[in-house]
Amino acid sequence: MTRGNLTRRGLLRTGAVVTGAGLALPTIFTSRASAFTNDPTGDTVTLGFNVPQTGPYADEGADELRAFQLAVEHLNGEGDGGMLNTFSSKALQGNGIRGKKVAYVTGDTQTKSDAARASAQSMIQKDGAIMISGGSSSGVAVAVQGLCQEAGVIFMAGLTHSNDTTGKDKKANGFRHFFNAYMSGAALAPVLAKNYGTDRRAYHLTADYTWGWTQQESIQAATEALGWTTVNNVLTPLAETDFSAYITPVLQSGADVLVLNHYGGNMVNSLTQAVQFGLRDKVVNGKNFEIVVPLYSELMAKGAGDNIKGIFGSTNWSWTLQDEGTKAFVKSFGTKYGFPPSNAAQTCYAQTLLYADAVERAGSFAPCDVGAALEGFEFDGLGNGPTLYRAADHQCFKDVLVMKGKEDPANEFDNLELVEVTPRAQVEYAPDHPMFAGGELGACNNGA
Amino acid sequence: MLGLDRKDFTLVLIIALVALLAPFLLNFWPTESGMAQFNAGYPALMQRFAIYGIFAIGFNILFGLTGYLSFGHAAFLGVGSYSAVWMFKLLSMNVLPGIFLAIIVSGLFALVIGYVSLRRSGIYFSILTLAFAQMSFNLAYSVLTPLTNGETGLQTTLNDPRILGASRTAEGGIPVPSLFGLEMNATSIWKIGGWEFQFNVGYYFAAALMVLTFYLSIRLFRSPFGLMLRAIKTNQTRMSYTGLSSRPYTLAAFVISGMYAGLAGALLACMDPLAGAERMQWTASGEVVIMSILGGAGTLLGPILGAGVIKYLENIFSKINEGVLHGWFDFLPEVVKEPLVWLFARFTGEGWSLTLGLIFMIVVIFLPGGLMEGARRIGDLFRKRGKPSDDDKEHHPKPAAHVAE
């Protein structure tokens, strides 16, 4: 049992000792000497690839990782060079970045902000990573982007489609090559109007989280501008796997289009169930009932199988494009792994090259210099046609692809066909557009 | 000393010493060597050791002493984080108001949940707490998005008011959480030989609080109140027959342990100003249960040990991918190498939880008292054989208490 009691004096004394020790310790030793975080002083430079290896987006993560590995090979002058040969900027020599061999570390985001940040922190603090890339969910991308801003390293976003990443949560140290929900809406709406008419009544099922909301908001605004009406928007929980209860009321609502603002497993399930319910065979208001999936991915299309036939959606890029950059990339990816890359893989590959190229052009690894080199950078040859990295919000502007589920796929990878390449001008918006307002880049941070 | 007997005081002293020297103790290998990836001495992970240590110490006050298994403790962790981040957004980046509010709010939250859940015991109590935590998680994930920023997580921004501080720094960045100007992410590096030791302000702050909370938990273990809690674990029915209402005691323990969790949550936010909903998910609640059982529920040191083991596995083992394994076994012929890499890859990288599962099973089956029992058995080997270590009863209130009991 206890001997004596907790005395005020005793407590004060310990408190003072502990605080004193805490205050004194860090000042004993010298602080970091370099001008920015993780200045690569040796003959290698380390990049951190933070992708989901477990959880609902593990497939996307695996494909991203393949693309990163390929990009590192090409940067180090191994393999056939891929898109380095078609890239409009010729600063990269295939001898690493600024003569330093590129090394990389990988981490698992688990599609959770906390885990992703822990993994990124360990890359920065322990492995000395100078740039972090990856992510397969907008929540994670926004979280890691915030961390990189604070730590003073560059974040090259991978697969993240929410408006917020370069909207209200944009950061000076973060850059996004992938397109966003607004662009999906702007590209998709005219195609929908052309194919389904301008007098349509849409019913939305939306994944109940940040990405779902911005996606729904974007597509609703874009379709309503062309004359559609929105009957209803129902939020579905992210963990939902059975959508039958949500699909039944659709037919009674008088709607003749169902928009599924779902991604990944959600989309595979909701689409499959909607098709099984026979929605697409119905005739409502004298028109055929249609289903739309605003954001497509090859891996989801594969999961949904035959159900995606004839359904419209948008993607950032497709391996079926015929430009030189795409052909070079698909060739080297296919040679190494035996199947074509997804659009998540392409954006990650392009981001790695863009980062390396910016370092070369800036002549420095310092994040602020690299950021300045990326801002306003115009390039071509990375598969998306002429592209601009806009300085105002660090978003890439390029053509957007409208795709349709293929009726007669030649093989398991050939499940989407190109309907239209929406020109860049049609998907551009002002940096202070209401859907993107509220955030600020702030000042770039070199860290340390 | 400080109201402790010599043995307990030594224990606190050892914990304090280990915490102080952690940057040395956790950096076993030189930075350039191939073994450097086993080093755990970098700020983010050391902070987690200390913070989850606090979380587990608090959980142990409830589970270890009263035997009430709460399966929803992560809710308090999350509430603490959200409170702290809101203080950073509204008041100032000083960590103290954030921590203060977090402890108060999570305490109140625990009072409400505890008041309802403690009407039942055993499995029903566990399920109730689990239900409450899942409810909180879902609320934070979508319904309460204006308050929690949903899936993206609550972050500080340049436009926050921060009445007592600055909205932005002179350089135009978001200010960093600090203790009266001492920034939490400030790190001093000491390079000596091939080693690199990182001394981080945030870590030492968290570690100081861990030592303090550990001290408080010892006092609680040794107090009449702690004895009462142990009586509840041993035989609650008998206690009620003697005319003693046990509920105020269990409720108090529940609230205290919720406040510990709130403190841990606030510290997580102080080290990294972000509060995400998944911090409240049931997996996070399960993690602290595993920490306690792995280390030894009801022992003083066990939960800290368990927290350390789990965080080490999660952060270090998950980094060993197939590429690294190929590097290790490169000297072997291809025929041997490939299967070996395949085998190891199941247990490292994304398979780290399998390793954790195996360790957990081994511990639960062979060492029901957790790692602390293992330590005790080893200790016994060095003492006189056959003589049980009965001098330390309070570390093992129930020597062979199986976790499933």
Q: Is B276 on the interface with A (CB under 8 A)?
A: yes
Q: Does residue B272 carry a pLDDT above 70?
A: yes
Both A196 and A166 in one domain: the answer is no
Give a yes or no: residue A303 inside a domain: yes
Q: How many domains does chain A have?
A: 2
> How far is Cα A278 from Cα A291, in angstroms, rounded to an integer?
11
Both A255 and A380 in one domain: the answer is no
Q: Which residues of B touch A210 (CB under 8 A)?
A: 145, 149-152
Residue B218 to chain A, least CA–CA distance (Å): 10
Residue B222 to chain A, least CA–CA distance (Å): 5
Give a yes or no: residue A256 inside a domain: yes
Give a yes or no: residue A9 inside a domain: no
Give a yes or no: residue A353 inside a domain: yes
Stretch A276-280: mean pLDDT? 88
Got the DSSP string for B100-138? HHHHHHHHHHHHHHHHHHTTS-HHHHHHHHHHHHHHHHH
> Do the Cβ atoms of A138 and B152 come within 8 Å?
yes
pLDDT value at residue A18: 52
Both A324 and A339 in one domain: the answer is yes
The amino acid present at A60, given as its one-letter code, is E
Both A136 and A91 in one domain: the answer is yes
Q: Is B355 on the interface with A (CB under 8 A)?
A: no
SS3 A283: strand
pLDDT over 90, % of chain A = 48
Stretch A311-337: mean pLDDT? 92
Q: Is A150 on the interface with B (CB under 8 A)?
A: yes
Contacts 24+ apart (CB under 8 A), B140-149: B140/B78, B140/B82, B140/B277, B140/B280, B141/A208, B141/A209, B141/A238, B141/B277, B142/A208, B142/A209, B142/A235, B142/A237, B142/A238, B145/A210, B147/B82, B148/B82, B148/B275, B148/B277, B149/A210
Reported as a pLDDT band with limits 50, 70 and 90, residue B143 is: confident
Both A228 and A323 in one domain: the answer is no
pLDDT value at residue A25: 45
pLDDT value at residue A415: 85
Distances from the Cα of B216 to the Cα of B3, B4, B9, B36, B296, angstroms: 11, 11, 12, 36, 19
Q: Which residues of B touch A112 (CB under 8 A)?
A: 276, 278
Residue B148 to chain A, least CA–CA distance (Å): 12
pLDDT over 70, % of chain B = 95
pLDDT value at residue B173: 77
> Do the Cβ atoms of A208 and B142 come within 8 Å?
yes
Both A66 and A143 in one domain: the answer is yes
Give a yes or no: residue A74 inside a domain: yes
Q: Which of A260, A291, A315 is the last residue of a domain?
A: A315
Chain B, window 91-150: residues with a beta carbon less than 8 angstroms from a chain A beta carbon: 138, 141-142, 145, 149-150
Give a yes or no: residue A205 inside a domain: yes
Pick left, alpha or beta for residue B166 (phi over 0 → left; psi -120 to 50 → alpha; otherwise beta).
Answer: beta
Distances from the Cα of B247 to the Cα of B68, B117, B236, B254, B255, angstroms: 12, 11, 10, 10, 12
SS3 B2: coil
Both A207 and A294 in one domain: the answer is yes
Q: Is A199 on the interface with B (CB under 8 A)?
A: no
Could you give the residue ranges of the DSSP H alpha helices within A258-388? 265-276, 298-304, 324-337, 343-362, 367-374
Both A98 and A199 in one domain: the answer is no
Q: Is A146 on the interface with B (CB under 8 A)?
A: yes
pLDDT over 70, % of chain A = 92
Residue B181: CA count within 13 A, CB half-sphere: 1
pLDDT digits (tens, 9 = 90+) for A230-268: 999 998 887 778 899 999 898 888 899 999 999 888 888
Both A174 and A214 in one domain: the answer is no
Q: CA of A106: which chain B residue's CA is closest? A: B319
Domain range for A357? 44-179+319-393
Q: Does residue A28 carry a pLDDT above 70?
A: no
pLDDT digits (tens, 9 = 90+) for A49-95: 999 887 778 888 889 999 999 999 999 998 888 899 999 998 888 88
Question: How many beta-carbon contacts under 8 Å exist across A and B?
Answer: 174
> How far is Cα B12 from Cα B10, in angstroms, rounded to an integer?
5
> How far is Cα A269 from Cα B317, in angstroms, rounded to an integer?
34
Give a yes or no: residue A281 inside a domain: yes
Both A242 and A290 in one domain: the answer is yes
Q: Is A1 on the interface with B (CB under 8 A)?
A: yes
Closest by CA position to B291, among listed B30, B45, B51, B35? B51
**At A199, which CATH number?**
3.40.50.2300
> How far is Cα B51 from Cα B45, in angstroms, rounded to an integer?
10
Q: Which of A315, A348, A365 is the last residue of a domain?
A: A315
Q: Which of A292, A315, A338 is the last residue of a domain?
A: A315
Tell me how far apart the terminal alpha carbons of chain B are, to the nearest angstrom.
36
For residue B345 the two structure tokens come to: 């890859």
Both A340 and A311 in one domain: the answer is no
Reported as a pLDDT band with limits 50, 70 and 90, residue A10 is: low
Q: Is A138 on the interface with B (CB under 8 A)?
A: yes
pTM tops 0.80, yes or no: yes
pLDDT digits (tens, 9 = 90+) for B321-353: 777 777 778 788 888 888 888 888 888 877 788
Both A174 and A323 in one domain: the answer is yes
Chain A, window 13-52: residues with a beta carbon less than 8 angstroms from a chain B beta carbon: 14, 18-19, 21-23, 25-32
